[in-house]
Amino acid sequence: GKEIHCVGFDCGNSSIRTVLGHFDGTNIEVELIQQVPNGTVRVEGYDYWDILHIFSQMQQGLKQAVAAAGGTVASAGISTWGIDFGLFGPSGQLLGNPLCYRNELGGLGLGTLGEESRKKMFEQSGIQNHPMNSVYQFVGIRDHLPEYYRLAEKMMLTPDLLNFLFTGSFNTETSIASTTQLMNMRSGRFDDSLFDIAGIKKGIMPPVVDHGTVRGMLRQDIADYLDIAPLPFVAVPSHDTAAAVVTVPSLEGPFAFISSGTWSLIGTELSAPLINDEVYNCELANEGGACGTITLLKNSAGMHILQNVKNELEMRENRRFAWDEVVDLSLKAAAFLGDEKIPLFDPNHPSLYNPDSMIQALQLLTGEKKLDNILAGIYASLACNYGAAICDIEKITGTEYPVIHIIGGGCRNDHLNQMTADISGKPVVAGPVEATSLGTIAVQLMHHVPGLGLTDIRKIVSDSVQPLRFEPKVGRDRLYQRYEELLKP
Ligand code: LFR
């Protein structure tokens, strides 16, 4: 048969990627077309996204992808990180650069709600009360940037905003919408009562469309400018985590996943939300997954910590460090210290959220001065945190997961994969690396091939990838025990 070519945009906190997928009727092959750095820009204490830069890079990526596909692409789909949004004013203008969730507004926003309101927010949404959630950012904006709040008539989450810029259509889908905490995850619809509890204005959210349907057609003026034919933008799980989970190569029974990037999202896929006290106390969230599924997950710090330490190290020593070199330093230190002495810490400690210096923050938190030892501590603490979160999820769902699937860019980290296997006592299956873009491409097939469902898509993806397997080798009971003691309240 004829090949189908689809473009997947995977825009993360640190890179903007355009990937071209080729579907031959059985397998999907992905080809990286363009990758450019993404990052925030700090102005007077706030970090902002340069959204028009992102948009223009994506336009160039699209043009190159169409050329690479030989002139025609069937459709495109966009996934990005969660939570952040642009606000539009009365005359349809974007009211400024979207704020990055790493700021104090969200915490201030959440701080305006008492314990009872917080409980209600969770019970009605199914989402944990994380200070960064869009709802609390917006409460913070209401109180601290009032003129911005007053003018806001429409809220567009990052992928909604990018889809709008490409197509002119104003809509959203459940996965990205769930990261606002303004959606009732039982119904998959925005819920006025959540706006009321938080005390924010209603009627600002877009309509919700189903995965596999068309969000909009590429605007004719953009098609002309890029010199390509108009194409549909398909509704994919536009939250990167949800797109990534589509690609977990597990075809039988329930599975555990860790979607590893800037963040580590540790969870499982369910057919309906699980909303109870245990979920609340463990701070798990029922986020929107693909095609009506729920991803019950723990939002945990991930590569952000290592990435920041590496960047600082490079600045300090004025040279590049390869990841292998970083791993090497940590392995040597770990061997010297032993599991009794590796400095452990809670990767989700607030002092690591957005520090001026990650190295200093870690030194302060662990009481350890030596950088190599700290590196050993980062890997060990991340792996312990993975093990603990999977354990919580097993208890809460009453399910034992045979393996841990690690997907996304962070699964290239063999050392962390092996440690996770050792600490959890479960094999780790690592891959696909290209999870978000592959998921974004795969769900577009629902639009092109009638009758495809999530199970079919996961089968296609699973047949197209070769994950690596890490068997548990050495017991790390002492290390894990120390971590558990550390986290006890
Ligand atoms: C991962 C992710 C997480 C979300 C965080 C902030 O890239 O999308 O799921 O909690 O970024 O948006």
Residue 204: is its pLDDT beyond 70?
yes
**Cβ proximity of 161 and 51 under 8 Å:** yes
What is the pLDDT confidence band of residue 489, given thresholds at 50, 70 and 90?
A: confident
What distance in Å separates the CA atoms of residue 46 and residue 365, rounded to the nearest whole number? Answer: 24
Residues paired with 300 in a beta bridge = 264
Nearest Cα residue to 232 out of 62, 52, 458, 434: 62
**Cβ proximity of 122 and 128 under 8 Å:** yes
Q: Which atom of ligand 1 is nearest to the CA of 130?
A: 10
Alpha-carbon torsion 181, 184, 188, 190, what sign? negative
Report how far ligand 1's centroid is from the alpha carbon of 407 (Å): 14
Residues in the chain: 489
3-class secondary-structure state, position 372 = helix
Alpha-carbon torsion 48, 157, 281, 284, what sign? negative
Nearest Cα residue to 170 out of 113, 79, 86: 86
In the prediction, which pLDDT does 1 show? Answer: 60
**Cβ proximity of 275 and 123 under 8 Å:** yes
3-class secondary-structure state, position 440 = helix
Q: In whole numbers, what is the pLDDT of the chain averaged over residues? A: 97
Q: What are the tens digits of pLDDT across the range 29-88?
A: 999 999 999 999 999 989 999 999 999 999 999 999 999 999 999 999 999 999 999 999
In the prediction, which pLDDT does 2 show? Answer: 84
At 442, list the tokens: 């795969």
Q: Which atom of ligand 1 is nearest to the CA of 83?
A: 12
Distance of CA 467 to the CA centre of its chain: 20
**Cβ proximity of 439 and 244 under 8 Å:** yes
Q: Which atom of ligand 1 is nearest to the CA of 132?
A: 6
Question: Does the Cβ of 241 fall within 6 Å of ligand 1?
Answer: yes
What distance in Å separates the CA atoms of residue 170 and residue 280, rounded to the nearest whole number? Answer: 33
What distance in Å separates the CA atoms of residue 35 and residue 168, rounded to the nearest whole number? Answer: 25
Report how far ligand 1's centroid is from the alpha carbon of 478 (Å): 31
Q: What are the tens digits of pLDDT across the range 313-369?
A: 999 999 999 999 999 999 999 999 999 999 999 999 999 998 999 999 999 999 999
Question: Does the Cβ of 480 fall within 6 Å of ligand 1?
Answer: no
> Whose alpha carbon is nearest atom 6 of ligand 1?
82
Q: What are the tens digits of pLDDT across the range 387-406?
A: 999 999 999 999 999 999 99
**Cβ proximity of 347 and 262 under 8 Å:** no
Report how far ligand 1's centroid is from the alpha carbon of 300 (Å): 9
Question: Does the Cβ of 261 fall within 6 Å of ligand 1?
Answer: yes
3-class secondary-structure state, position 407 = strand
456-461 average pLDDT score: 97
Q: List, by residue number, the catalytic residues.
A: 240
In the prediction, which pLDDT does 474 show? Answer: 93
Q: Which helix (H) or strand (E) holds 197?
A: helix 192-198
Question: Does the Cβ of 265 fall within 6 Å of ligand 1?
Answer: yes
What distance in Å separates the CA atoms of residue 157 and residue 90, rounded to the nearest whole number? Answer: 18
426-438 average pLDDT score: 97
Question: Does the Cβ of 23 fall within 6 Å of ligand 1?
Answer: no
Q: What are the tens digits of pLDDT across the range 136-180?
A: 999 999 999 999 999 999 999 999 999 999 999 999 999 999 999
Nearest Cα residue to 308 out of 393, 246, 217, 375: 375
Q: Measure CA of the first residue to CA of the last residue in the chain; give whole Å.
A: 60
Question: Does the Cβ of 299 fall within 6 Å of ligand 1?
Answer: yes
